[in-house]
């Protein structure tokens, strides 16, 4: 055991390891990094909460090592820390701004015979960025200093040398205020762990982040154009926590209030919910945030008229749940005012209301909407579907777009609803393509370049023989449909294409080329060696029998998500919950691919039959 130093300092309640080491170094008149070298105790190890380093520090100072470890964050990996039994992202526990309670620090100094800068200690419960309140003195925590360099930032004794006079004079004292419900919740979780409240079932850091984001959304109801300064961030946490304290019911009520009160009726969820939507959609995508993400996503699906042409939180909407008068009117090709009257007569909606905001169940209303006689001329159909006259004529010759009314003496008419549904079905599960480049082409260009009829391409999509279908962002209807040109060539068995390249095959099923290549090289799936028609080099290709063999044995996360009609994030979480691992018999990375045999044995999914695989 290391001997206690002759010159030491008293350990303060809830003090962190880096604070104690900085004070101990200052007490011995030496800079903290040099002190660490002399004692064979790297300051970085103490900052990271290494258990051996903290035990060594406890021996040097004479304090109890368990007390020291209790409030010192422990670095785990990947910018993550463990603090009070809860995981924290580095941003949430290692801010460049060090905060604290000047009254606590003043009491440290007054209780010691040492100079104030050697007596003042940083407490662990001040470290989480969500912690804004000192329960001992009833005041807000204040920013003590800001420093980007980690060593200089956490060498607290050196920092206190500069501000100790201001602390002792009361100049830096925080605002007096009552503790909020959120303050009490955070304090209780830090001291005693999770209880039985609704939020307690989730990770503390994720729960606090959600309260903050929900509060930032809700504050716009009171001050839509004002920014909340950093000193009032506690109020944002409280606003979010008030809704969360009532569980899902309170949160959904708050979200619905925002939907109605913020912005215009035609504006989407991103505008209504701001950072709450953006962060959960694109940044906070790991498992800790999955329940909050699902809550927001399900709320939006139940309250917004989103359909298969829309995207929600970075994922395509696979099935429409709700219609508004506007979306239903667009689908059936009818004036919204007339449609609202018909919907009211059918008892589906009130006769008065907001055509943009009022929604109704799309499945329940489907028989009624299907019964509406909605026919258009060829010119109107082409205009609505963004379909050229030449393509329309070619597709008609191929058996597509047969008029629903074409008897003698009548001008041919088409059911626009059916035509739109046909286009939407072709786009089901399509990838959103911002810039097509040379790989993605529309149906007209594809048929022209390959000298085939557009109906042949549509046949391949409808039969499920083309795996990669794209939707051109900013475009609608027929003109928005894109196909991956190399895959189309391979499926058509062009003479110069011995099969689908590994790169094209990988993209078509949702794998990276190196992952698909590794499956082949390791003998887990077959491929055909053939000569490249351009380079004459021999390389692997995926021919029809190889693709059939792969799909008979394996399914990727993306394909399974489309098959089950759910998002890949929720599917990944479900598979993880069921302890279903990705295929990796030898510990290598083959990507998000699973064996059908494993899924079927666990009762999770069955491999599709010939008709199930059709689009």
Query: How confident is the model over 221-231, as pLDDT tens digits?
Result: 887 655 666 66
Same domain assignment for residues 21 and 165:
yes
**pLDDT computed for residue 494 by the predictor:** 55
- Which of the listed residues 169, 197, 228 is the one where a domain comes to its end? 169
pLDDT value of position 407: 42
Return the bridge partners of 80, or none: 77, 89
Domain that holds residue 330: 322-372
Confidence at 611, pLDDT banded by 50, 70, 90: very low
87 and 29 belong to one structural domain:
yes
50-79 pLDDT tens trace: 999 999 999 999 999 999 999 999 999 888
Claim to verify: residue 146 and residue 66 sit in the same structural domain: yes
Same domain flag for 231 and 296: yes
Which range, 406-410, 414-418, 424-428, has the best average confidence (pLDDT)?
A: 424-428
Residue after which a domain boundary falls, among 274, 304, 334: 304
Residues 6+ apart with CB under 8 A from 599: 555, 560, 580, 605, 606
The domain total for the chain is: 5
In what side-by-side order are the strands of the sheet with 469-472?
Answer: 431-433, 469-472, 481-484, 440-442
DSSP symbol at 296: H
> Are 33 and 125 contained in the same domain?
yes
Position 496 in a domain: no
Inter-residue contact 540 to 502 (CB < 8 Å): yes
What is the predicted pLDDT for the residue at 227?
64
Determine the pLDDT at residue 334.
73
In a domain, 300, yes or no: yes
Structure-token pair, residue 518:
């590794």
Residue 515 lies in a domain: no
Distance CA 427, CA 542 (A): 25
State whether 359 and 291 are in the same domain.
no
3-state secondary structure of 594: strand
Cα angle 10, 15, 16 (rounded to 5 degrees) comes to 120
CA-based nearest residue to 583, from 573, 593, 568: 593
Are 35 and 150 in a shared domain? yes
Residue ending a domain, among 130, 148, 169, is 169
Q: Are residues 31 and 159 in the same domain?
A: yes
Summary mean pLDDT of the chain:
88
Is residue 30 a part of any domain in this protein? yes
Q: Between 565 and 509, whose confidence is greater?
A: 509
Q: Per the domain annotation, does 507 fall within a domain? A: no
Residue 148 has pLDDT above 90, yes or no: yes
Shared domain for 22 and 146, answered yes or no, is: yes
In this structure, is residue 51 part of a structural domain?
yes
- With CA atoms as reference, report the closest residue to 319 among 565, 597, 538: 565
Q: Under 8 Å CB-to-CB from 352, ≥6 apart: which residues?
A: none
What percentage of the chain carries pLDDT values higher than 90? 54
CA distance 419 to 316: 21
pLDDT of 315-367, one tens digit each? 888 889 999 999 998 888 777 887 888 788 778 998 888 888 889 999 999 88
**pLDDT surpassing 90 at residue 380:** no
Per-residue model confidence (pLDDT) at position 374 = 63
- What is the rounded average pLDDT of the residues 26-39? 96
Q: What is the rounded end-to-end Cα distance, in angstroms, of the chain?
A: 71
Q: Are residues 30 and 165 in the same domain?
A: yes
For the stretch 436-479, pLDDT in tens is: 877 899 999 988 888 888 988 888 888 777 878 888 988 889 99
Output 463 or 94, whichever has higher pLDDT: 94
HEC sequence for 528-564: EEEECCCCCCEEEEECHHHHHHHHHHEEEHHHHHHHH
Residue 409 has what pLDDT?
45
pLDDT of residue 508: 79
Q: Kindly report the number of other CB atoms within 10 A of residue 112's CB atom.
A: 17
Same domain membership, residue 365 and residue 382: no
pLDDT at 408: 45
pLDDT, mean of residues 381-407 = 83
Q: For residue range 283-327, list pLDDT tens digits in order.
A: 998 899 999 999 999 999 998 999 888 889 888 888 899 999 999
Looking at residue 373, what is its pLDDT?
Answer: 58
- Helices and strands in the chain: count of H runs, count of E runs: 32, 22
In a domain, 237, yes or no: yes
pLDDT over 50 at 614, yes or no: no
Do 241 and 110 reside in the same domain of the chain?
A: no
Please return the burial class of 194, using the count of CB atoms within 10 Å of its CB with bins 0-12, 13-18 and 19+.
Answer: middle
């Amino acid at each position: 055991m290391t001997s206690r130093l002759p010159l030491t300092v008293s350990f303060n309640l809830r003090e962190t390891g880096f604070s104690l080491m900085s004070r101990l170094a200052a007490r011995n008149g030496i800079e903290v990094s040099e002190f660490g070298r002399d004692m064979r105790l790297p300051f970085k190890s103490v900052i990271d909460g290494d258990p051996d380093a903290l035990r060594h520090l406890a021996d040097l100072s004479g304090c109890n090592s368990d007390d020291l470890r209790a409030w010192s964050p422990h670095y785990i990996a990947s910018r993550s820390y463990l603090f009070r039994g809860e995981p924290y992202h580095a941003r949430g526990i290692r801010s460049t701004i060090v905060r604290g309670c000047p009254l606590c620090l003043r009491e440290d100094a007054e209780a010691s015979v040492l100079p104030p800068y050697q007596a003042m200690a940083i407490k662990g419960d001040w470290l989480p960025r969500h912690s804004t309140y000192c329960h001992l003195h009833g005041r807000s925590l204040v920013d003590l200093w800001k420093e980007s360099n980690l060593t200089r930032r956490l060498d607290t004794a050196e920092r206190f040398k500069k501000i100790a006079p201001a602390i002792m004079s009361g100049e830096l004292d925080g605002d007096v205020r009552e503790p909020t419900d959120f303050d009490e919740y955070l304090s209780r979780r830090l001291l005693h762990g999770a209880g039985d409240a609704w939020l307690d079932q989730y990770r503390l850091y994720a729960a606090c982040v959600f309260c903050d984001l929900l509060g930032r959304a809700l504050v716009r109801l009171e001050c839509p154009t004002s920014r909340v300064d950093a000193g009032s961030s506690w109020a944002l946490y409280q606003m979010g926590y008030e809704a969360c304290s009532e569980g899902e019911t309170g949160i959904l009520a708050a979200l619905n209030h925002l939907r109605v009160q913020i912005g215009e009726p035609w504006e989407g969820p991103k505008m209504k919910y701001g950072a709450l939507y953006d962060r959960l959609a694109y940044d906070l995508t790991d498992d800790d945030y999955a329940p909050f993400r699902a809550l927001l996503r399900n709320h939006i699906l139940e309250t917004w008229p989103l359909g298969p042409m829309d995207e929600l939180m970075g994922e395509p909407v696979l099935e429409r749940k709700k219609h508004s008068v506007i979306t239903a009117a667009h689908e059936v090709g009818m004036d919204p005012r007339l449609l609202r009257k018909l919907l009211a007569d059918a008892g589906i909606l009130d006769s008065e209301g907001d055509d943009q905001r009022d929604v109704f169940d799309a499945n329940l209303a489907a028989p009624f909407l299907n019964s509406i006689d909605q026919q258009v001329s060829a010119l109107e159909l082409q205009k609505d579907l963004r379909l050229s006259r030449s393509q329309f004529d070619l597709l008609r010759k191929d058996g597509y777009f047969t008029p629903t009314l074409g008897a003698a003496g009548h001008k041919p008419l088409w059911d626009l609803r059916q035509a739109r549904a046909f286009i939407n079905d072709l786009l089901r599960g399509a990838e959103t393509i911002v810039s097509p480049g040379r790989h993605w082409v529309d149906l007209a260009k594809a048929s022209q370049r390959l000298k085939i009829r557009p109906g042949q391409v549509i046949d391949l999509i409808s039969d499920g023989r083309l795996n990669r279908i794209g939707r051109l962002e900013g475009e609608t209807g027929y003109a928005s449909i894109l196909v991956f040109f190399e895959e189309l060539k391979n499926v058509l068995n062009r003479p110069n294409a011995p099969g689908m390249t590994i790169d094209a095959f990988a993209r078509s099923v949702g794998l990276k080329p190196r992952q698909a290549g590794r499956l082949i090289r390791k003998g887990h799936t077959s491929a055909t060696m053939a000569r490249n028609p351009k380079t004459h080099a021999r390389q692997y290709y995926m021919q029809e029998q190889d693709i059939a063999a792969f799909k008979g044995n394996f399914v990727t996360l993306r394909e399974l998500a489309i098959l089950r009609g759910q998002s890949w994030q929720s599917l990944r979480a479900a598979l993880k919950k069921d302890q279903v691992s990705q295929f990796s018999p030898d510990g290598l990375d083959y990507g998000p691919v699973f064996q059908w045999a494993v899924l079927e044995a666990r009762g999770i999914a069955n491999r599709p039959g010939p008709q199930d695989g059709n689009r």
